[in-house]
C-alpha cells in the first residue's frame, strides 16, 4: 500500500489518489485540505494578474507552499 504524507501539514495519506486526495505541485505533495487553502490564499492574487502568466503562477504556487511548509500549515481560514 502506498502511503504519502503531506509536505505542509504532515498528514498521512493512505492509498493517495493524485488530484483527488493529494496534489503534486511545485515538487511537493500536498493533501486535499492544504490544496484547498492554497487555492483560497492565492486566488485573489491570481485573479488580479492580467495578463495571466503560467510561469508566474507556478512561482507563486511554489513560494506559497514553501512558506506554508515553514509554518507547518497554510495560514488561512476558508470563508466562502
Ligand atoms: Zn496537508
- Whole-number Å distance, alpha carbon 80 to ligand 1 midpoint, is 20
What CA–CA distances, in Å, run from 41 to 3, 13, 16, 34? 27, 23, 24, 10
Q: 26: helix, coil or strand?
A: coil
- The count of domains in the chain is 1
Q: Does the structure show a pLDDT above 80 at 1?
A: no
Phi, psi of 68 (to 5 degrees): -65, -35
Its domain, for residue 38, covers 3-71
CA of 51 to the centre of ligand 1 (A): 30
Residues 6+ apart with CB under 8 A from 10: 72
**Within-domain flag for 27:** yes
**Predicted confidence (pLDDT) per residue in 10-28, tens digit:** 999 999 999 999 999 999 9
CA of 2 to the centre of ligand 1 (A): 17
Domain contains 80: no
pLDDT tens, position by position, 27-52: 999 999 999 999 999 999 999 999 99
Amino acid at each position: 500500500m502506498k502511503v504519502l504524507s503531506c509536505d505542509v501539514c504532515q498528514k498521512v495519506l493512505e492509498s493517495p489518489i493524485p488530484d483527488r486526495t493529494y496534489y503534486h505541485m511545485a515538487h511537493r505533495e500536498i493533501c486535499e485540505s492544504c490544496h484547498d487553502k492554497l487555492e483560497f490564499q492565492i486566488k485573489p492574487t491570481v485573479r488580479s494578474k492580467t495578463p495571466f502568466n503560467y510561469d508566474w503562477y507556478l512561482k507563486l504556487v511554489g513560494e506559497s507552499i514553501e512558506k506554508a511548509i515553514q509554518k507547518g500549515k497554510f495560514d488561512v481560514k476558508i470563508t466562502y
